[in-house]
Amino acid sequence: MRILYELSCLRNPSRSLGLGAGEPIHIVPISRTVKAAKNVVFGGVAKKLALAPWFKNKYKETLDYIEFPEKRIMIVGGASSDAAALGLNVFTALVDEGNFMGAANDSQVANSAGGKSYDRAQMIYDALVRRVKSRYQRSGVKGMIFLASSKRATDDFTERRIREHIKNKTTAGVFVRDYATWSVRPDAFANQKWYRASVSSSEGRCKILEDDDIPPEDALVFEFPEDYYSEFQRDPAGSTRDIAGIATDTYSPFISKREAIEDMFDPEIPHLFEAREWEMGRPLVINWSNALTENAKGDKVPLCCAHASRHIHLDLSKNMCATGFCMAHQAGTTEVIRFDKATNTRSIEEAPVFHIDGILRILAGPAGDIDHGEVRGLVYKLNEGGMNVRSVSVDHWMSVPNMQLLKKHGYRVEEVSTVKTIDPYDTMRSALYESRIHGPEYDLLRQELRHLELDTKRPADRPRVIVPPNHTKDVADAFAGAIYYLNKHAKGGLFIAPSKGMSASGLTKKQTWSNSEPVWADEEGYDSLPDPNSNNDGGAGGHDQAWLI
């Protein structure tokens, strides 16, 4: 409204802003959907214009636009993508609820003036900035873009924009208004009781604090009035974002116990691969000395759980996404305490322990595609090197041809989908919470696990794990798939090392067989057994019985 007022004060706005004679100036409202842009943003401006005496009789309004004919200023009806700005002299744009626009689909990317991007809000913003600069910067005029949105997560579009300006020291032309609801109306809550709440990154949750509660060291503690107590009690995370105006790590975190993620990583465990990300076509260095040793016979065997079979899960992709690779094995079992809410009883169960041998993010090479043959080649190379890989699981995408080829090489192969069902992620989370997973520190996996969230748009009986825009879960998918397969095929107790080759007896003396009637040491006749070292068939001392059990 202020910009409309200032433009209408100019005798010739188009000429003042450096446009050609008769060129209109456009203001574009954009939201998640065209309907929202028309009703919320465009409709909101129209209502305020009708209330302002200054603008009376200066504009005409239709369902599709608001026009100031004398000043050649036009507010378009509303849009949901940056393509609406094509061909327009955009001076001001209003992007509403940008944090909830999500990722761009293929058609939006293809039709976008901003080019390829996975974040719709970022894609729209970049295109609008270019549009404003191309029209007005040569005249020394700066347009203005409004970004309005509720909070969602700490890495959301508006949060990233603020941090980017602070980092690049370009805050001179930026204004941020970021207040809690009660901060802009303090008098309305003056006589109410106030409560404390905390937002903890390490715990991954928001909660109401009791009077004697001590919040975590990293927690952000704030107070809220009694009017909002029921909202905070029902949905602490949502209320923290929408009412208190504080962004949280994720919208609906899947792994709320963040300390479990940190406990899994052991800095003493070396990495199998020299690189944390491998680009197709480039050499991949395998740190064999970190993973293998030699047994008494000179065979290469793993340093960790030498006789355990290794399993590899491949989260395959083509080009736009990376491929996740995770190799792990079962390292025995441990006792865990399980609680049954239905019966309010506790029980002790034996659950498998898992060790991560190697984890890797595989990127497309210069050719632009993930070479599945090269990925399978890595599996073969690890097995030939001594890692004892016996099974491979793959996600649903392109699973059939890869499974067929892996089976021909003698591997046990199974499809494990982290999209069709939430079971792999549920299994992995349970093992994490019970401290049954150990592996080397891997920052990419740490970040992916922290940003996992439940898709709140899905029905409760068909849950799915997703990540916010601009985040990936390729490595997390591979990690969850590997743990799920191993848990599904877990073995109880300890591993018994199999002997390699034919067993050879170390006995050279003549043996005496019991003919299925062994004489035990506490039985009559034990002392009179024949001595195999003597030519005499009788006498004591013949106790060299060989037992085959």
Q: How much is the pLDDT for 11?
A: 92
Per-residue confidence band for 59, with pLDDT thresholds at 50, 70 and 90 = very high
- Residue 410 is inside which H or E element, if any? none
C-beta separation of 54 from 176 below 8 A: no
521 CB neighbour count, 10 Å cutoff: 8
pLDDT at 110: 42
pLDDT tens per residue across span 86-127: 788 999 999 998 888 876 554 444 444 433 445 788 888 888
15: CB partners within 8 A, 6+ apart: 21
Number of neighbouring beta carbons within 10 Å of residue 472: 17
DSSP helix/strand/coil, 47 = helix
What is the dihedral sign for C-alpha 460, 466, 467, 473?
positive
Strands 144-148 and 73-76: unpaired
Q: Which of 265, 311, 308, 326 is nearest to 476 (CA)?
A: 326
- The pLDDT tens digits for 46-57 are 999 999 999 999
Query: Helix count (H) and strand count (E) of the chain?
Result: 16, 20
Per-residue confidence (pLDDT) for residue 529, from 0 to 100 = 56
Specify the pTM.
Answer: 0.62
All CATH 3.30.420.240 domain ranges of the chain, comma separated, are 258-488
Q: Please, are residues 138 and 18 in contact by the beta-carbon 8 Å criterion?
A: yes
Other Cβ atoms closer than 10 A to 264: 23
Residue pair 390/309 in contact by the 8 Å Cβ criterion: yes
Find residue 294's DSSP bridge partners: 300
Of 239, 252, 444, 438, give the one whose Cα is nearest residue 362. Answer: 444
CATH T-level assignment (fold) for domain 258-488: Nucleotidyltransferase; domain 5 (3.30.420)
pLDDT category, 526, cuts 50, 70, 90?
A: low
What mean pLDDT do residues 40-46 have?
89
Q: What is the pLDDT of residues 180-236, one digit of tens each?
A: 888 888 888 888 999 999 887 666 678 899 988 888 787 889 999 999 999 998 888
Work out the end-to-end distance of the chain between its first and last CA atoms, rounded to an integer number of angstroms: 92
Reply yes or no on whether the pLDDT at 324 is more than 70. yes
> Are residues 88 and 76 in contact, defined by beta-carbon separation less than 8 angstroms?
yes
**Residue reference for tokens 């984890």:** 359
State the pairing for strand pair 90-96/25-30. parallel
By the 8 A CB rule, do 527 and 540 touch? yes
